[in-house]
Structure 1
């Protein structure tokens, strides 16, 4: 464990580069007159100030590249690397050349909301199972971490003198709690805080500066911390993440409809074999006769008189014809010799297989058993799984089909097309994304998060992040009931929104923070803010981890997400996913994130009133 800790500390030292840069700047005189950018680097930094698009995506690309670098098998991950690079570049530009980057906050909000929505669309089906399993523990962690952090920040008042506004700024920044920062701003603006005129003038600046400075430092360091915390405590996040996925899905369960893996077929006991007609008894017989003689095996294609046919039932067979048969391997091996020898290099082997999901709507099908449907339209197809109301049912010939059931079926394109006439509409894998659902979902989530509820004189709201999580999780759960709901949402597109959304948000955050860091240095806020903020940022999550691992016996991957949520740290949750190579951390994130955000909003408001 000591060697793992040393490796992790070596990696975490990369994050300290930013802090070292800041510390060095404390001893440097701050120019009173804005200098002209000088040198090659000054010219480049100045050019990038006029081309923010280029600057933004250079940082994103470099962050992903640095995130791939590993020391003794441990890497920072793309999120921490992106934020660290953005913070260093922005501080360097402002301190050395007085170049202040200012990328639009609206752009940051758009990409962050896309990230949150993409997370919910992935984790929905597992979310309910995770809540059922760990719900009580998640709630307790959501209370423990922010309350302990608040207590530590408040206790600092007895050891040092903090300027007005710093108490709320340190707490909100250390916990990356933007709603808490907003509540503190509202408290100061209301005039309810009993401050002297001079203190009332300093408080808003102190609040903003301490929040911005600690937000960036805390975000970087906590993201790195999340990547190696399991190793520090002797846990294997990857193995635990996979174990939880199996536990929630079941060992032999098929992926639910509407999920990322829905159309991954896996093993199928079907095969396509080609036989040459040599049996004299088949001379002059039709394809329909051959089908009747070999139930559950379908004649897919026939090579006859130099032509390839998708054979009609009345096509007459002759000796020397080649017949492509599709069906269970055991039946093909048993029936093939009755037709003739197998042909290895036939032109008939090029048969495309499709896996689709049929949503039962046809009244003539409802109430029929799977056995009856197999006799009616089951030749040459394979029933992968059947789902009802989001739950997988065991396949049985006596199982009666109900309206709305989802049948996942694999077969040739021709057989699948024929089944549409019997079963109803089909959902196929797609590379396109339903933008209507995406747009409406984003709008609905933001609207839900914007609804305010007055409580103790404070206007509480869920915030857009929680609102979007609720809507996207709900939508992804509904899609397991009806995969046609909301149109196609391919996993590749969802993953792009997740990766790009968070890292663009993080890059903008870091690039806009250079002046805030400089102001913290100029006002002498660096020392107390950094010390108190670091204690408030990292002691509670470590305590929460100890409680979650040793008292609650929580799954490591779920615990990582829960701690990230309790710290209101979306980047930490993403780092947890990278470290565990699993979506499971997102199961523990939403509940703790929502509760912690509400708690910190209230406490930051109260801290602002204390001055």
Structure 2
């Protein structure tokens, strides 16, 4: 073992990347339907590797956590700020209720069982599967003014308690949201989703994430004019409730602009684009369908725009369509909507929020007009704007240095809270002005995954030797307390949502509850059972708020225990 210790001493980064590789391999192993995950696996792997003896510079930990927490805030910013309004008070109340009950539960457990600040914070992080608490709590501990060895010991305890309680923290959320909640509501998740879709759109179905319809909703077909001879373009389109659009007319080998008042002539070849339900029956209005050819071919495209239109925030798709002039909406179809990276059902009753990304389908001219009307085009780029990101991180770290004394108690956000706040603001500004601050989703995901996993691995490597001793002393106690902290806030919030907030639909309540715990595995289980994207609507709101509230539990637990 001495030679391994020698290698790690000369190149400690080898231990770091070894922990990540082994941790992510272990994390993807299935235990029934449960996976430990890359972060939890990296922490356990780092603790094992640390037994050889290795130390990583604390500066690495600080940098990794800063980029991780900034990226979390950046992604959550648009959804977080857009959620703070009177129309989403129910979702705000639910996320806030869960965070408060979780905080109270942790503090009561800490007082009754005499847990130190580190164990209590780690209990919160693992039982609530909020990995960022490890960083915010560790940062708060470092600012207590304690001796260096005591700070290191408490930070080690955070990681230990997190590792012991994380497994059931993830599994418990799945059990409550997927199994207990439908029985409590007396309504299956799939049945509830169908009911919600029916209320929003009169029965129109919606696709879940990753699902693709065998029969596309939007497409085009070519027809030879026969029965429509002498009719105007406008008459054909309005007769089908503007759910179809005549995009090209070919007459005698020459193209004719399909203006609303243009009169169709026999043997004209027209290309019609629109919704499947209407377009399959267009032949009876125009004439026989013909195969496409080079002279009638029409290129369609999708274009993404960020929804920022003034006066239309929180309006439904149906309401917006009715308010927009027909000449502006002609030939424009909504193919998809995402909110905070999550798909939102494209239904007439779906409310659009500023910051939503809308994918428009149509010709280049039509989609360009639609994007300009809706807000701003989302430019396609694979390059991260490091100027924007660098300024955000600098401001966040500067905010973290601010200390305010209240009644002799020094209060500070720390580097974690500062970078989270900066990420929220910069992400929100990016949503409003997408021409600045590009950070592709893949880049943001890398910063979050690598930043958090590396941070946790450094914690495990630097504190692993002490961790083993602490687990021997308190392991079963911490685990059982973790079960309590996992289940009690979820169950109380479920009852609060049903009887106080008046959630009457199981799918909507399950989405809101999993979002309030920022429990992605539980939300994945909800979507799987619901077979619909309907739970995404409340999830997107509560998830954005919970990501902030639960992350801030770290310094709150440290300060109150």
TM-score, normalised with respect to structure 1? 0.61
CA distance in 1, matches of 2:49, 2:517: 29
2:413 pairs with 1:467: no
1:503 alignment partner in structure 2: 453
Q: Counterparts in 2 of 1:254-333, with a 5 A limit?
A: 270-277=218-225, 290=233, 294-295=237-238, 296=242, 297-301=244-248, 311=257, 322-329=269-276, 332=279
- Aligned residue number for residue 288 of structure 2: 341
Distance verdict in 2 for CA 1:531–1:119, change over 3 Å: farther
For residues 468-522 of structure 1, give each alpha carbon's deviation from its aligned partner in whole angstroms, at most 9, with x where no partner exists. 4444445666777x474855555444333332221122222223335xx1xx49x
Q: Secondary structure at the match of 1:459?
A: strand
Q: 1:105 aligned to 61, 65, 76, which one?
A: 61
Aligned residue-pair number:
480
Shift of 1:354: 2.0
Q: 2 CA distance for matches of 1:549 and 1:406?
A: 31
Cα deviations by residue, 1:340-399 (Å, 9 ceiling, x for unpaired): 42123544455323254465479xxxxx99558443333322367999xxx999969xxx
1:122 to partner: Cα distance: 7.7
Cα distance in 1 for residues equivalent to 2:356 and 2:176: 45
Question: Conserved in 2, the CA contact under 8 Å of 1:139 and 1:591?
Answer: no
Of residues 93, 96, 109, the one that matches 1:135 is: 96
CA deviations over 1:16-64 (Å, ceiling 9, x no partner): xxxxxxxxxxxxxxxxxxx9x44xxx3xx64565455555344323322
**For the pair shown, which has the larger CA radius of gyration, 1 or 2?**
1
C-alpha distance in 2 between matches for 1:428 and 1:262? 21
* CA distance, structure 2, for counterparts of residue 420 and residue 134 of structure 1: 33
Indicate the residue corresponding to 1:66 in structure 2. Answer: 26
Give distance in 2, aligned partners of 1:430 and 1:143.
45
Report the equivalent of 2:556.
598
The 3 A distance-change label for structure 1 pair 460 and 340 is same
Tell which deviates more after alignment, 433-442 or 70-79. 433-442
Report the aligned-residue RMSD. Answer: 5.3
1:447-458 alignment runs, 5 A limit: 447-458=398-409
For 1:179-198, list aligned pairs within 5 A: 179-184=139-144, 186-188=145-147
- Quote the residue 2:534 is aligned against: none
Match for 1:221 among 164, 182, 185? 164
> Structure 1 residue 80: deviation in Å?
1.0
SS in 1 for 2:114: helix
Residue 543 of structure 1, CA deviation: 3.0
Is the CA contact (8 Å cut-off) linking 1:278 and 1:319 kept in structure 2?
Answer: yes
| Corresponding position: 1:543 with 2:484 | yes
CA–CA distance in structure 2, aligned partners of residues 436 and 178 of structure 1: 28
Quote the Cα distance in structure 2 between the aligned partners of 1:490 and 1:76.
27
- Between the aligned partners of 1:424 and 1:134, the Cα distance in structure 2 is 30
Deviation at residue 273 of structure 1 after TM alignment: 1.1
C-alpha distance in 2, partners of 1:54/1:556? 43
Q: How does 1:110-125 map to 2 (within 5 A)?
A: 110-118=66-74, 120-121=76-77, 124=80
SS of aligned partner of 1:512: helix
CA contact (8 A) 1:479 1:486 kept: yes
Partners of 2:320 and 2:513 in 1: how far apart? Answer: 44
Alignment of 1:429-578 (within 5 A): 430-432=380-382, 433-473=384-424, 482=432, 484=434, 490-514=440-464, 517=465, 520=466, 527=469, 529-530=470-471, 533-534=474-475, 537-553=478-494
Post-superposition CA distance 1:259-286 (Å, at most 9, x none): xx9999999865411123567957xx9x
Q: Which runs of 5+ in 1 are unaligned?
A: 1-34, 155-166, 189-203, 255-260, 363-367, 397-402, 565-572, 604-611
Deviation of the 1:461 alpha carbon: 0.8
Instruction: Name the counterpart of 1:16.
Output: none
The Cα offsets for residues 538-580 of structure 1, whole Å up to 9 and x where unpaired, read as: 454433345324545367887788789xxxxxxxx77777887
> Following the alignment from structure 1 to structure 2, what is the Cα–Cα distance between the partners of residues 303 and 413?
19
Q: Determine the C-alpha separation between the residues in 1 that align with 2:421 and 2:491.
A: 30
1:399-426 alpha-carbon deviations (Å, 9 max, x no partner): xxxx9999875322222235578x3754
Q: CA deviation at 1:145?
A: 0.5
Kindly provide the CA deviation profile for residues 254-313 of structure 1, in whole angstroms up to 9, marking residues without a partner as x: 9xxxxxx9999999865411123567957xx9xxx6566655454424567778x58576
SS in 2 for 1:553: helix
Structure 2 distance, partners of 1:484, 1:222, is 40
Map Cα deviations across residues 235-262 of structure 1 (whole Å, 9 max, x no partner): 649989x979x99xx75779xxxxxx99
Equivalence for 1:382: 333
Distance 1:264 1:439 in 2: 37
Change (3 A) 1:131 1:360: closer
**Partner of residue 39, structure 2:** 79
Separation (CA, whole Å) in 1 of partners of 2:277 and 2:155: 67
Contact 1:89 1:511 in 2 (8 A): yes
Matched position secondary structure for 1:325: strand
1:148 to 1:237, Cα distance in 2 relative to 1, 3 A: same
Q: Residues of 1 paired with 2:434 and 2:177: CA distance?
A: 44
CA contact (8 A) 2:23 2:43 kept: yes
SS of residue in 2 equivalent to 1:153: coil
User: How do residues 231-250 of structure 1 correspond to structure 2 at under 5 angstroms?
Assistant: 236=179
Cα distance in 2, alignment partners of residues 183 and 538 from structure 1: 28
Give the structure 2 partner of residue 145 of structure 1: 106
